[in-house]
Amino acid sequence: MSSATYRLTRIHRRVDDAILREMSRRLPDSLRLLRLKKLRLAVKDRLASLMRKPRAS
């Protein structure tokens, strides 16, 4: 696993945790949830593109 992949995986996990915390609040902030979900999707897309790239040996 490259350092970029590892870093993005950690960011994805932190954003996912933030989403779960926000959803567990009594009155979740829908705008914050939307932003967090968009960020999580962007990180996931970036991870997927890194995984598709062939590595130079």
How confident is the model over 5-44, as pLDDT tens digits? 999 999 999 999 999 999 999 999 999 999 999 999 999 9
pLDDT given at position 55: 66
Write the DSSP string, 20-52.
HHHHHSSS--HHHHHHHHHHHHHHHHHHHHHHH
pLDDT greater than 60 at residue 57: no
Residue at 57 is within a domain: no
State the pLDDT confidence band at 56, using cuts at 50, 70 and 90.
Answer: low
Residue at 41 is within a domain: yes
The whole domain housing 40 covers: 3-52
Distance CA 39, CA 8 (A): 11
Domains held by the chain: number? 1
Q: What would the mean pLDDT of 36-53 be, rounded to a whole number? A: 94
